[in-house]
Amino acid sequence: MFKKKIISISSFIFAYFTIFSIINVVYGENVYSDSFSEELTMKNLSETEILAVFNFTQTMDLKEDNKITSYYQLFPRAIGQIVEKYHVKEFHITFTRGSWNSYQWGLNTLPVPVGVEFYAYFDANYDTNENWSGLANAISGVFCASVNYIDRSKSAKPNYSFKPSGSYNEEEKIEMRYGSLSHEGVCTENLTPWIKLLPCQSKMGIAGLLNNYKLFDTNYYSMMAHLIPVCIDSECKHKQLQLTQIISTVFDNKRISKNGNKSWSTESLFGKKISSYCPVSTNSKIKIELNDSDGENNYRLIQSPSRFESSTKDTKYAVYDLISKRYDNLNIGVNIINEKNIQPIQKNIGLEVYRSQSGFAEEYGGFVVTMKNNNIDKDLSITYFDIIPWFVNIYFNSFKIQNTKVKDYQNDQYVNEFYYEPAIEHVNPTILEMKMIIPRDSTTTIEFDFDKKHLLYADYPPDCARGFDVGSAVVTVHNITLGEGYLYPTEDFIRIYTEPIVIILPAPDFSMPYNVITYSCTIIALFFGSMYNAYTRRYIPLVVEKEEKEKGKNETQKIPPPKDSISATEKEEKDKDK
Amino acid sequence: MRIFQTHIYIISIIFFFINVCRSEYSSEFHFPNEREEIIDGFFSKSRHTNNWAVLVDTSRYWFNYRHIANVLSIYRTVKRLGIPDSNIILMLADDVACNPRNRFQATVYNNAERKLDLYGDNIEVDYRGYEVTVENFIRLLTGRHLPDTPRSKRLLSDDRSNVLVYMTGHGGEEFLKFQDTEEISSYDIADAFEQMWEKRRYNELLFMIDTCQASSMFSRVYSPNILATGSSQTGQNSYSHHLDPELGVAVIDRYTYYNLETLEYVTLQSQKTLQYLFNTYDVSLIHSTPGVRHDLFERNLNKVLITDFFGAVNNIELTLKGYKLSRGSENDIPDIKQNTIRDKSDEKIEKINHNNDDHLIPRNEYKMIKVDFKKSAMVSPLFLLGSIALISGIIFISKIVN
Amino acid sequence: MKQNSLPPLIKKKYDTVAFQKFLKITIVLLLIARLILLNITKIPDVLGQRFELTTPITSLKKLKEGLFLFQNGLDPYEGGIFTQAPLLLFLYHILSYLPKLFESILYTACDGLIAYYLYNISIYRKKNQLSLFWRPVDILLNPLLVSTIYLINPFTILSCLSKSTTIFNNLTYVLAIHYAIKKNINLSMFFAALSSYLSLYSFIIIGPCILFLIETKNDNYQKRKIIIKSISLFVLYAVALLGISYLLLGSFKFIKSFYGVILSISDLTPNIGHYWYFFTEIFEHFRVFFLWVFQLHILIFVAPSVLKFKEQPLFLTLVITSLISQLKTYPSIGDIALYMSFIPMYQELFKYMTYPFYTLNFFLYSISFEPLMYNLWVWQGTGNANFLFIINLVFNIAQILLITDTIHAYLKREHERHYPEFRGKELAWK
C-alpha cells in the first residue's frame, strides 16, 4: 500500500516534469530576452516616385555593469563581439547611392551623404584612436566595404555637429570619431552581409522583399545600421543595445511599371510577395502613408488593411499587421486615382545648402558654400562642418564669410565660433567647424581658396585622372523640432548634407619613373663631370712640329717647347687679333 | 511490485548502455599503430580536409568587364560545388554590377544571352576597389597581415587545405598588371607560394591564370604540390570570346569560357579528373595554347578530381570507435597563431605604411583650434629685447674686431 | 711678367662721361619703373603665382598666409603651408601696419641696394684689373655698367616684380661679399649668417669671404687668426638669429618646418630645377639615399673650388654662386639673376668662351618654353609633366654650359697669362 503510493507519486512527478519541459519547448519564444521588430513604410513622394523605408530593430540586454553578455540569442554575434572588443558605445554607418531630390520630395528625414559615412562613440577610458581604426577594419570585414580606408587621414572629431543618440549616465565619458568615403559604391555585396545580421535574414518576414535587382535600380538607395544604448528603466541602471537597420529607397515608377499607370504594389516594386512574418519578431507591420485631405477619392488600396492610424490631420497610415492577421502571399499596393494632393514627407525647413568648387585647371581653386535661409520669420542657428583632405592647401587668409543682409558678418554676433584643425601632409585633413546664425531671408556665403598640391608617386590612386574626392559637408541646424512623421528618434536638430566634390590634381607621368631617375642623374653627372674636368685638368699648349702639319688635339702630350720655337709671324698675327 | 521491477530493469538497462557508450568513446581506447592510416583512409585520397579559393580580378575600368565576369564565373562554380563564402577570398578591382554604365544594374553576365546572372543575391566581396593591390595579395597568400585585419580578409588555410588560386587581368611576360599602376612578377608569385609551403598553408595548390602570356607567370614556381595552368604560352595573347552589344563590352575570355563548358557539368559527386578537363582544351577554339605545369605535383593528374580543387566535397564516415590524433611529426612547423603574427618585418611594414615620422603635432591628437578673426598678434617683448641685443652686439663686436 | 710687351689699355668709346650719365639715368628710370609697376599694377599678383619665380620657400602668397596665422595668434608653422624663415614674418608684420606703398619701396630699395653694392664690388674688380697681377687687360670694367646690367636683366626684373623673398637672400649675399671686400669681418660674417638663415645653402659663401678677408695678409699666423675669428663670428651670429626666431615664435618648430623642407624636399611643387620631379617619382626605398647624394653633391665642390681659384676670390664667388643657384633644392629665377650679375665683371673672359652664342640660345629656348610647358600640363591638360621636366633639364644644361664655359675661359686666360708667348696658339687639354 505504501509502496504503491510512492510509485504513484513518483510517476506523477515524472509525468509532471515531462509535460512541463514539453510546454517549455513549445512556447519557446518566451525564453528570449532579445527582441526583434520589423516595419516597412511606403509612401508616394510624387506621382511616380515611391519611398519605401524598411526598419529592422533588434535589442539585446546588457549585463549589470553594461557589459555585453556572451550568450547571443537573436542579436548578431558579429556586431556584439566587435562592439565589445573595441569598447564601442554606439556606432552609425550608412551606405548611400543616388541623391535625394529635396525640391520635390521635401526634407530627407534620414539624412545621409553619398558614399559611406561612419561615426562612432567610444568609451574614453581606453585608447580611442586604436579602437577607431580597429573598429573601421572590423566593420569593413562585416559589411564587405572599404571602410578600413577611414583612418587618421580622413577622420575628425567634431564638437557641435553630432550628438550621441543613445542614453548615457553622467559618469560615462565618451569620445566620438567621424569619417566618410564619398567614392565608395554600394552593391549586392554590401546588402548580403547586412541581411545576414537579421535573425530571419531574407527567408521570412518583411526582409523577404529585399530584392537586390530592384533595389539597385532605384533613384536613391540608402542602407544604414545604427547601434545605440537605450535605457530600460527610468533611472538607467539597466541598458540594452539597440541595433536599428534601415533601408530607405525611392523607386521610379515611370521606369518600372509596365503599363505606364501610376499604381504600384509590393510585387511591382520588389518583384516578390511576402510569405509570412518573421516568427521571432514581436512586431511586424507594413504601413502605407496616405493623404487624407479629400477623403477617399485619391487612392484605392489593393488589400484592405488591418486598421487605419492617423498621425496628423492630413495624413493617415494604412497599417497591415502581419502578426495579428494572417496574409498569404501578401501583395500590398495602391491604385492612385487622384494624384494632386501628394505631399512631401516633411516640409523643407527653408534652408538650402550648396557647396561647389570655383576656379579651373590644376593649380589652384576655391570652395564656395552657399546657405540660403528662405524663412521670412526665423533666424537659423547652424553649424557647418567640413573635412577637406590634406592634398589641398587651404589659405585661411582668403576666408570670406559674407551675408546678403548683414554688412559686417564676420564678427562674434553672427559667426559665433570658428574651429579649425590644419592639415598635415599624409597625417590628417583640414577640419573646419563653424557656428553661425543665418538671419531670416538672407544668403550666407563662405568662400576660401586652396592650392592643389603635388603628391608623391605613391599617393595617387590607380585612376587619378578621375580626381580626388572631398566628402560632403554637414550642416546641422539647431533648435528645430520636426512634426510627426519623422522616421527617426526625435531630436532637437537636423542635418543637411551637401554634395561631394571631385578635385582634379596635377599628376606626374606614372609610366616612367626609371626614365626620370636616369635623366636627372645624367644631368647631375654632366655637371659633376664638367666641373671635375675643369678642376683637375689643365691647359697646355699644343706644339705643332714644323715637319708635320697634324692638328690633333688630346692625344699628343707635349711639353711646352723652348721659347725660340715660336715664329715671329705667329706673334704678329696674335697682336693683330687684339 | 511488478511496476517497480520493470522500472529497475529499465533504469539498469539505461545505465548499462551509458557505460558501454562512454567506454566506447573514451579517449583511452585506441589502436596505437594504425590510427593515422585509418583516419587518412576516411578522407579523400588527396589528403585534404578543406578547400579554399582565392579569386582575383586585377583590372579596373568598364572595358575590363570580362575579367570580372571571368572571376565571377569561377566564383559561382566554386560556390555551387560547396565551398562556403567563408572559405572564398574574392578580390574585385572594380565594381561593374552597380556601375552607372551597366544597363542591367546589380548583374554581371558572362554570356550575351544573359540567362544567368553571376552576381546573384548572395555574394561577398572581400577586397574591392583600391584594396586589390599587389601588397594585399601577397599578404593574403603569406598570411602576414597588418593587425586588425578582419577574418573575412584572411586566408586561414592549413596544411590540409587544397587552395585554388585564380587570377585574371592583363599581363605580359613574367608579370601581371594590377589596376594599371603596378605589377606582380612571376618571381613574386613563386616566392609567395614558397612562403605558403614553408608555413604549410596548403596541401595542394591549383594556380589558374587567364591573361596574355599566362604560362610565364608560373614558370618560376619551385614549391612542391603546385599544379598550374594558364591560358596561353609565352609570346601568345589570350583573347576574349564574344561581346554583348547591349552592354557594349566583351563578356568572357575564351580560356575561361571553355573551362566553364566543362565545369558547368561537374557536380558534387562527379568523378571527373583534371586530366579530363585539360584534355578538353582545344587550341583551335581557345586561339592560344593553354599551358599546364605538373612537374611539381606528385599525384597523377588522372587521379585528381576536379572537385578536389573546385569544390568542397566532404566525405562523412560514421565510426563506432574513437581515434586519437597525434600532434604531428617533429618536422612540421609548430602551430603559428595567425592572428598575432608580429615579427620585425611586420613592424617595419606598418611603419612604412603608417608613415611614422615625427610630425609637428603628435600624430594622434585631434586638435581643433579656435580662431578669432580679430587681429591679435603677439610679438613677444623678449623678441624685441633679443633683436636689440643682437644689433647692439654687432656694433659692439665691430668695435672690438676691427 | 714681361711688362714691356704688354698691350696698352684701350678706351672704347662707351667709356665717356656722356655714357656714364646715360647709365645713371637708366638706373634711376629702372628703379622708378619697378616702383610704379609694383605699386600700381596687378603684375605682382600674376607673377607671384608663377612657379619659375617663386618657390614654396620664397613665395609671398604663402608668407602672407603665415602672417595671417601669426597675426591671429595661431602657430604659422602648424599647417605645412608656411615654410619660410621666421624673421621675414616679423618684417612683414611691421609692413602690414604701414601703407601698401612701403612694400613696393622695400623691394625697389632692395634692388637698388644690390645694384649699389655690385657697383662697389665692381670698383674693387676694376682695381683688381689694373693691378699688376691681372694684366694685360684690354677692356676696363665700367662699374656702372655692371649695375645697369643687373637692373636691366629681365630675370631680376621679373623676380623683383613677383615679390618673392629671394631678393632678401640676394641682398644679404651681396652685402656679405661687399663687406668681405672691405675687410670688415664682423659685418661680413653677420650678413653671411643672415643669408644662410634665409636660405640654407648660402653658408658656403664663408669660403670666398674668408679668402677676401685674408687677401692682403701675408702672415700665416694672421691668416689663421682671421679664419678662426670669422668662423666663430659666423657661428655666433647664426645661433643668435636662430635664438631670436625662437623668441619670436616660442618654439623650435620652424627648424623642422623650414630647414627640414629644404633638406628633405617634402614640398613637391614644380620649379625650374629638376629635383621636384625626381623626388616625385623616386621609390620610397631610395629616397633618403638620393637626398643625401644630392645634398653632398653641393658640398663636395666647395673645397676644390676654393683651392682652384684662391687667387681670384671674386671669380670663386661667381663659381660658388652659380653652384648654389643650380644645385639648390628649390631654385628660382632670382637665384639665376644673382650669379648672372657677377659675369659682366669678367668681360675679358668673353673672348675666350668657345660657344657663347650656343649657350645664349639654350637659355632663350629653355626659358621661353618653361611657362609654355607648364601651361600645357596644368592649365590646358593637353600636356604631361614630362614636358616641363625635360625643359627643366634643358635649362639646367644651359646653366651647366654657361658655368663650364666661363671656367674654361678663365683657365685659358690664366694659361695665357702664365705663358704669354703661346697667345693665340691652340691649346691641348690634359
Residues of B in contact with A186 (CB under 8 A): 98
Residue C249, C-beta contacts closer than 8 angstroms, at least 6 positions apart: C75, C76, C77, C86
Question: Does some domain include residue C179?
Answer: yes
Subunits next to A (3 or more Cβ pairs <8 Å) are: B, C
Do A319 and A403 have their domain in common?
no
Residue B352, C-beta contacts closer than 8 angstroms, at least 6 positions apart: C284
Q: Which of C425, A427, C306 is nearest to B354 (CA)?
A: A427
Determine the pLDDT at residue A80.
Answer: 92
First to last CA, chain A: 154
Do A64 and A137 have their domain in common?
yes
Instruction: State the CATH number of the domain containing residue A448.
Output: 2.60.40.740
Do A251 and A359 have their domain in common?
no
Do A123 and A226 have their domain in common?
yes
| 3-class secondary-structure state, position C180 | helix
Question: Does some domain include residue C154?
Answer: yes
Using the Cβ of A256 and the Cβ atoms of chain B, whether some distance falls under 8 Å is answered with no
Average pLDDT on C125-150 reads: 79
Determine the pLDDT at residue A408.
Answer: 82
Could you tell me if B298 and B225 are in contact, meaning their C-beta atoms sit under 8 angstroms apart?
yes
* Mean pLDDT score of chain A: 84
Could you tell me if B171 and B186 are in contact, meaning their C-beta atoms sit under 8 angstroms apart?
no
Question: Does some domain include residue A156?
Answer: yes
Do A161 and A295 have their domain in common?
yes
Determine the pLDDT at residue A558.
Answer: 46
Determine the pLDDT at residue C312.
Answer: 87
User: How far apart (Å, rounded) are the C-alpha atoms in residues A372 and A439?
Assistant: 9
Residue C353, C-beta contacts closer than 8 angstroms, at least 6 positions apart: C359, C405, C406, C408, C409
Determine the pLDDT at residue C331.
Answer: 94
**How far A27 CA lies from chain B's nearest CA (Å)?**
30
Average pLDDT on A89-112 reads: 89
Please give the helix or strand (H or E) that residue C115 lies within, else none.
Answer: helix C101-130
Q: Which domain holds residue A529?
A: 514-543+558-573
Do A497 and A538 have their domain in common?
no
Question: Does some domain include residue C106?
Answer: yes
Please give the helix or strand (H or E) that residue B286 lies within, else none.
Answer: helix B283-286
Residues of A in contact with B150 (CB under 8 A): 137-138, 140-142
User: Which amino acid is residue A129, in one-letter code?
Assistant: N
Question: Does some domain include residue A54?
Answer: yes
| 3-class secondary-structure state, position A60 | strand
Residue B118, C-beta contacts closer than 8 angstroms, at least 6 positions apart: B69, B72, B73, B75, B76, B107, B108, B109, B110
Strands A493-497 vs A501-503: parallel, antiparallel or unpaired: unpaired
Could you tell me if C174 and C118 are in contact, meaning their C-beta atoms sit under 8 angstroms apart?
yes
Using the Cβ of C301 and the Cβ atoms of chain A, whether some distance falls under 8 Å is answered with yes
| 3-class secondary-structure state, position B51 | strand
Domain count, chain A: 3
Q: B313 vs A252, which has greater pLDDT?
A: A252
Residue with cell string 605580359: B172
Question: Does some domain include residue A119?
Answer: yes
Q: Which domain holds residue C100?
A: 13-352
Q: Which of residues 48-107 of A touch B (CB under 8 A)?
A: 97
Q: How confident is the model at residue A313 (pLDDT cuts 50, 70, 90)?
A: low
DSSP string, A391-456: TEEEEEEEEEEEESS-SS-SSTTTEEEEEEE--BTTTB-EEEEEEEEEPTTEEEEEEEEEEEPP--
Q: Which of C182, C190, C191, C235 to mutate to test the interface with B (most CBs of B within 10 A)?
A: C190
Q: Which of C150-159, C349-358, C370-379 has the lowest mean pLDDT?
A: C349-358
Question: Does some domain include residue A24?
Answer: no
Average pLDDT on A57-85 reads: 87
Q: Which residues of B are catalytic?
A: 170, 212
Q: How confident is the model at residue A344 (pLDDT cuts 50, 70, 90)?
A: low
Residue A455, C-beta contacts closer than 8 angstroms, at least 6 positions apart: A391, A505, C268, C280
Question: Does some domain include residue A411?
Answer: yes
With an 8 Å Cβ cutoff, are B366 and A420 in contact?
no
Question: Nearest 5 degrees, angle CA A331-CA A336-CA A342?
Answer: 115
Q: Which of residues 356-395 of B touch A (CB under 8 A)?
A: 359-361, 363-364, 366-373
Q: Which of C385, C396, C421 sits opposite A523 (nearest CB)?
A: C396
First to last CA, chain C: 25
For chain B, which residues make up each domain, given as ranges?
1-30, 50-330
Q: Which of A509, A567, A576 to mutate to test the interface with C (most CBs of C within 10 A)?
A: A509
Q: Which of A224, A178, A96, A180 is nearest to A488 (CA)?
A: A224
For CA atoms C162, C163, C166, C168, the dihedral sign is positive
With an 8 Å Cβ cutoff, are C429 and A539 in contact?
yes
User: How far apart (Å, rounded) are the C-alpha atoms in residues A142 and A86?
Assistant: 14
Do A44 and A164 have their domain in common?
yes
Question: Does some domain include residue A346?
Answer: no
> Taking the CA of residue C284 as centre, how many other CA atoms within 13 Å lie in the half-sphere pointing to its CB?
9
Q: What is the pLDDT of residues C285-318, one digit of tens each?
A: 999 999 999 999 999 999 999 998 888 899 999 9
Q: How confident is the model at residue C132 (pLDDT cuts 50, 70, 90)?
A: low
The DSSP bridge partners found for residue B208 are B166, B229
Question: Does some domain include residue A60?
Answer: yes
| 3-class secondary-structure state, position A211 | coil
Q: B343 vs A431, which has greater pLDDT?
A: A431
With an 8 Å Cβ cutoff, are A421 and B371 in contact?
no
Residue with cell string 604659422: C76
Residue B349 reports pLDDT greater than 90: no
Residues of B in contact with A194 (CB under 8 A): none
Question: Does some domain include residue C8?
Answer: no
Residue A231 reports pLDDT greater than 70: yes
Q: Which of residues 103-162 of C touch A (CB under 8 A)?
A: 138
Q: How confident is the model at residue A85 (pLDDT cuts 50, 70, 90)?
A: very high
User: Which amino acid is residue C279, in one-letter code?
Assistant: F
**How far A355 CA lies from chain B's nearest CA (Å)?**
22
Q: What is the pLDDT of residues A499-510, one digit of tens each?
A: 999 999 999 998
Question: What's A308-373 look like in SS3?
Answer: EEECCCCEEEEEEECCCCCCCCECCEEEECCCCCCCCCCCCCCEEEEEEEECCCCCEEEEEEEEEE
Determine the pLDDT at residue A69.
Answer: 79
CB-count exposure of residue C4 (10 Å: 0-12, 13-18, 19+):
exposed
Do A109 and A171 have their domain in common?
yes
Residue with cell string 579530363: B276
Determine the pLDDT at residue C241.
Answer: 93
Question: Does some domain include residue C205?
Answer: yes
Question: Does some domain include residue C109?
Answer: yes
Do A227 and A155 have their domain in common?
yes
**How far B68 CA lies from chain A's nearest CA (Å)?**
14
Residues of A in contact with B76 (CB under 8 A): none
Subunits next to B (3 or more Cβ pairs <8 Å) are: A, C
B50-330 has CATH 3.40.50.1460 classification: yes
Question: Does some domain include residue A550?
Answer: no
Average pLDDT on A546-574 reads: 43
